[in-house]
Amino acid sequence: MENLRTYTGKNVKPDKARPYANHHQFLIIGGGTGGITAAAQLKKKLKKPDIAIIEPSDVHYYQPMWTFNGAGVFDKEKSKKLMKDIMPNDVAWIKDYVVAFHPEQNIVETECGTFYSYEFLVVAPGIQVDWDAIPGLAENIGTKGICSIYAYNQVDYVHECIHMLKEGRALFTQPNTKFKCGGAPQKIMYLSSDSWKNSGALHDIDVTFTSAGSVIFGVPEIAEALQPVIKRYGIDVKLLHNLKEIKADEKIAVYDIMKDGKPVDEMEIEYDMLHVTPPMSSPDFIKNSPLADSEGWVDVDKHSLQHKKYPNIFSLGDAGSTPNAKTGAAVRKQAPVVTGNLASLQKEGKIDENFIYDGYGSCPLITGYNKLILAEFDYENKMTPSFPFNQAKERRSMYHMKKDLLPMIYWQGMLKGRA
Ligand code: FAD
């Protein structure tokens, strides 16, 4: 293997047995937030790059909107666009699903049985939602008061559950795995609580938040800022509670009580409405590939985002091994690093040490209709505020930025390689 920080482009041409049409200079896996942003930026940085994206879906989702959709703000249709309409011009869209990697030969294999060779590979297939990992979840989601904002086709039922609940217990869960948008399980809870507060139902509803984690939020300043919010809605917070089963007919959630990372006890909680943030993991085809680290994520350097073993492979977004919060906001900061390093590798044969990702993640914590705490932080959970005011404070202006401005910045800026 060559020096990790340089790459001379050896062995990148397809062999004679494979048609030339299947070779691309830049091959991107996934047409989600990371894949489209990377393609759009590469187009701006290089002269006529040959880029192809392998993406099986006909639609592209702006997933952060699902929290609002679940809370009845915006129709869920607004969260999606046709893939063909957001694909950057002159980027080939291969509508297929990658099933295997052959990084020593610079080849990926798809479900249709086609092999694609590349000079440089960007891996951005997102995170896998493991609905089957909790007995009782996959078969009952969308019925019997069990709901989740973690799927486009489930968000309407979340809204229905919030609207229908007039008394009893509303239970919100957070898993013991990595998952996308660390704040979303709480955001939907605060929005639900605010809705019940406004309708007067909150008097008769017990809101309970269970998390497998040991703190309400990883950034101490934000965890502290959330305390008055939790108090305002009278939320019962139960930490180190890991949902392990749902008895849907009895409306009972079964938990492991955790200590030092191990279950030490079991507990059942009755509910009337259950909002589940499901366990998630790296996509199976990544886990089972030579690209994976010991936990299954694409094994990249946390600052350069270059693969630790294969220098012509990069990853951004939720599938990468970088220990940041898995958010679209992180992708926005990762994309210039990946594309800057790729452009440098392509032109100079080495990555540019000026392109460094510091672990930036952002979590706009919606704490009610018209209220938001904007958490921004790096690998060390140190606050990295974008605005010159105290962000650990609920603000109406930040709510409107999240609701009205960010979707526009996403569709018109980020996906076009501008933001
Ligand atoms: P994705 O955008 O999920 O895209 C992955 C793409 O890869 C998909 O199009 C998929 O079809 C494709 N793919 C999968 N497998 C294969 C395969 N085998 N071959 C080819 N293609 C494949 N982020 C924020 O910044 N702020 C928020 O407020 C926020 N809120 C959120 C709320 C919810 C409810 C959810 C679900 C997410 C939220 N996020 C938020 C997270 C954000 O949406 C993700 O972090 C971001 O989309 C990750 O980008 P990605 O490119 O890694 O994955």
Strands (E), 152-276: 168-174, 205-211, 236-238, 241-247, 252-259, 262-270, 273-275
Asked if residue 288 is part of any domain, the answer here is yes
Is the beta carbon of 325 within 6 A of some atom in ligand 1? no
Asked if residue 11 is part of any domain, the answer here is no
- Tell me the residue length of the chain: 419
Last-in-domain residue among 348, 374, 389 = 348
Which CATH number is 117's domain given?
3.50.50.60
Task: Let me know whether 83 and 222 are in one domain.
Answer: no
Q: Which domain holds residue 197?
A: 133-280
**Cα 65 to ligand 1 centre (Å):** 12
Is the beta carbon of 33 within 6 A of some atom in ligand 1? yes
**Cα 130 to ligand 1 centre (Å):** 14
**Cα 265 to ligand 1 centre (Å):** 34
Is the beta carbon of 35 within 6 A of some atom in ligand 1? yes
Is the beta carbon of 181 within 6 A of some atom in ligand 1? yes
Is the beta carbon of 32 within 6 A of some atom in ligand 1? yes
Q: How far is CA 105 from CA 51, 119, 121, 346, in A?
A: 19, 10, 12, 18
Task: Let me know whether 293 and 304 are in one domain.
Answer: yes
Residue 394 confidence (pLDDT) above 90: yes
Task: Let me know whether 206 and 224 are in one domain.
Answer: yes
Taking each helix axis as running N to C, give the angle between helix 220-232 and helix 184-199, from 0 to 180 degrees, rounded to the nearest 10. 20
Ligand 1 site-directed mutation target among 27, 284, 318, 334, most atoms within 8 Å of CB: 318
Task: Let me know whether 140 and 275 are in one domain.
Answer: yes
Task: Let me know whether 230 and 212 are in one domain.
Answer: yes
Task: Let me know whether 261 and 140 are in one domain.
Answer: yes
Task: Let me know whether 276 and 139 are in one domain.
Answer: yes
Asked if residue 264 is part of any domain, the answer here is yes
Residue 348 confidence (pLDDT) above 80: yes
Residue 5 confidence (pLDDT) above 50: no
pLDDT computed for residue 387 by the predictor? 87
Q: Return d(Cα 195, Cα 218) in angstroms, integer.
A: 26
- pLDDT bucket at 73, cuts 50 / 70 / 90: very high
Task: Let me know whether 61 and 143 are in one domain.
Answer: no
Last-in-domain residue among 314, 329, 348 = 348
Active site residue 363: yes
Last-in-domain residue among 233, 264, 280 = 280
* Residue labelled with tokens 């007067």: 200
pLDDT tens digit string along 214-248?
Answer: 999 999 999 999 999 999 999 999 999 999 999 99
- Please report, for the chain, how many H helices and E strands are present, in that order: 10, 21
Residue 110 Cα: closest atom of ligand 1:
19
Q: How many structural domains compose the chain?
A: 2
* Residue labelled with tokens 């990697």: 101
pLDDT tens digit string along 274-320?
Answer: 999 999 999 999 999 999 999 999 999 999 999 999 999 999 999 99
Asked if residue 418 is part of any domain, the answer here is no
Active site residue 161: no
pLDDT computed for residue 385 by the predictor? 87
Q: Return d(Cα 367, Cα 373) in angstroms, integer.
A: 7
Residues 6 or more apart from 179 whose CB is under 8 A from it?
127, 277, 278, 279, 280, 326
pLDDT tens digit string along 12-52?
Answer: 444 444 444 599 999 999 999 999 999 999 999 999 999 99
Residue 318 Cα: closest atom of ligand 1:
52
pLDDT tens digit string along 349-373?
Answer: 999 999 999 999 999 999 999 999 9
| Phi and psi angles of residue 158, each rounded to the nearest 5 degrees, phi first | -60, -50
**Cα 32 to ligand 1 centre (Å):** 6
pLDDT computed for residue 12 by the predictor? 44
- pLDDT bucket at 389, cuts 50 / 70 / 90: confident
Asked if residue 58 is part of any domain, the answer here is yes
Residue 2 confidence (pLDDT) above 60: no
In DSSP notation, 253-306 reads EEEEEEETTEEEEEEEEE-SEEE----EES-HHHHTSTTB-TTSSB-B-TTT-B
Is the beta carbon of 29 within 6 A of some atom in ligand 1? yes
Percent of the chain with pLDDT over 90: 92
Residue 57 confidence (pLDDT) above 80: yes
Closest of 56, 53, 179 to residue 122, by C-alpha: 53
Asked if residue 365 is part of any domain, the answer here is no
> Kindly report the CA angle at 404 between 400 and 407, in degrees rounded to 5?
130
Residue 411 confidence (pLDDT) above 60: yes
Q: What is the mean pLDDT of residues 45-64?
A: 97
Task: Let me know whether 165 and 289 are in one domain.
Answer: no
Closest of 31, 27, 26, 29 to residue 49, by C-alpha: 26
Task: Let me know whether 262 and 153 are in one domain.
Answer: yes
Is the beta carbon of 180 within 6 A of some atom in ligand 1? yes
Task: Let me know whether 105 and 201 are in one domain.
Answer: no
In DSSP notation, 363-410 reads EEEEEETTEEEEEEE-TT--B--SSSS-SSS-BHHHHHIIIIIHHHII
Query: Considering the chain, what is the average pLDDT of its residues?
Result: 94
Is the beta carbon of 31 within 6 A of some atom in ligand 1? yes
Task: Let me know whether 33 and 105 are in one domain.
Answer: yes
pLDDT computed for residue 21 by the predictor? 57
**Cα 60 to ligand 1 centre (Å):** 9
Residue 330 Cα: closest atom of ligand 1:
25
